[in-house]
């Protein structure tokens, strides 16, 4: 089943075409990768899905429902969560409060405070931050801040999680931990759509990959197809 579908998506910033007629879909339960050179429009596409930018034209359907034009908080409540390329945490609040907020506000049904607290502590453990609940978010290491952002997104009980460069700036050890975490998230039944520059990680974890270049989709397929695609090789190696 397709959990998310984009049809004829166009986004112009004034005279600049950031996304040109892109069609895509994500199957429920898969890990879909999005790659492309800097400025290809990857983050713009995420911003369009999560509602932080409005489309110039096109339609986005989430679980069969047209979500074009909805606000980020409405989209989040319907079950789509995201992280940011540059981590956006509530820096002067504690790790636990960061997650708690996601749990308290992220769902349509609402939740009792005691359940939210319990859930948040579980998520803390799930992402590997147990024992850090009382630390201010800004005092965490970069890797831990990224995990916290994932935990906060997961607290909103998403069915689809958008990860924007979750592994950028991590050490090789941290990258392999991050890959483990993404697989664990998938095993929970959450569909993952991720932007990544760390190619090795991307190839090992994705079920399918989409390649964007200058706002256009130039390739789509399983990792093996992508690595042998001449167009992709050309953009990445400039041959």
Partner 1 sequence: MKRAISKKILYPVLLSFIFIIMVMMPPYVSPYTIILLNSIFMYIVLTVSWALFSGPTHYLSLASAAFFGIGIYVSAILGDKLPLLVVIGLGGLISFLLALLVGLSSLRLRGMYFTIFTFGLSELIRHSVQWWEVNRTGTVGRWVIAVDHTTVYYVMLAILLITLVVTYIIKHSKYGLALLSIGESEEAADHIGINVNAMKIITFAISTFFMGATGAIMATRWTYIDPSIAFNPLFSFMPVLMAIFGGIGHIFGQILGAGVLTLLADVLLTKFPYYYMLLYGMILVIVVLFLPKGLTGLKEEAKKWLKVD
In terms of Cβ atoms closer than 10 Å to its own Cβ (0-12, 13-18, 19+), residue 79 is buried
Among 95, 106, 147, 148, binds partner 1 (CB under 8 A): 106
Q: Which of 3, 89, 179, 209 binds partner 1 (CB under 8 A)?
A: 89
| Residue selected from 90, 122, 186, 197 as contacting partner 1 according to rule CB under 8 A | 90
- Does 69 participate in binding partner 1 (rule CB under 8 A)? no
223: its two tokens: 């990792």
Determine phi and psi for 43, rounding to 5 degrees: -65, -35
Burial class from Cβ neighbours inside 10 Å (0-12, 13-18, 19+) for residue 1 reads exposed
Cα 97 to Cα 120: distance, rounded to the nearest angstrom: 9
> Which one, 156 or 191, has the nearer CB to partner 1?
156
Site string for partner 1, 123-152 (x = CB under 8 A): -----------------------------x
For residue 50, state whether it binds partner 1 (rule: CB under 8 A).
yes
Beta 16-27 vs 208-213: how paired, if at all?
unpaired
| Interaction of residue 73 with partner 1, rule CB under 8 A | yes
Which residues are near partner 1 by CB under 8 A?
50, 52, 71-73, 76-77, 81-82, 84, 88-93, 97, 100-102, 104-107, 113, 152-153, 155-156
């Amino acid at each position: 089943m397709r959990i998310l579908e984009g049809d004829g998506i166009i986004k112009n910033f004034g005279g600049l075409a950031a996304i040109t007629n892109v069609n895509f879909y994500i199957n429920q339960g898969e890990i879909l990768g999005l790659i492309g050179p800097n400025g290809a429009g990857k983050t713009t596409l995420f911003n369009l899905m999560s509602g932080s930018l409005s489309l110039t034209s096109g339609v986005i359907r989430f679980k069969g429902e047209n979500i074009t034009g909805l606000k980020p908080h409405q989209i989040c409540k319907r079950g789509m969560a995201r992280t940011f390329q540059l981590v956006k945490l509530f820096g002067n609040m504690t790790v636990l409060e960061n997650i708690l907020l996601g749990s308290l506000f992220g769902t349509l049904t609402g939740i009792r405070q005691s359940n939210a607290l319990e859930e948040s502590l579980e998520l803390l453990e799930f992402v590997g931050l147990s024992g850090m609940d009382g630390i201010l978010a800004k005092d965490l290491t970069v890797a831990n801040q990224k995990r916290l952002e994932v935990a906060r997104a997961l607290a909103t009980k998403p069915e689809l999680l958008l990860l924007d460069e979750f592994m950028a700036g991590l050490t090789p050890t941290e990258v392999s931990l991050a890959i483990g975490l993404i697989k664990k998230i998938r095993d929970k039944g959450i569909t993952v759509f991720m932007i990544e520059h760390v190619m090795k990680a991307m190839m090992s974890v994705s079920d399918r990959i989409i390649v964007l270049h200058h706002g256009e989709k130039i390739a789509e397929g399983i990792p093996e197809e992508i690595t042998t695609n001449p167009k992709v090789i050309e953009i990445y190696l400039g041959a």
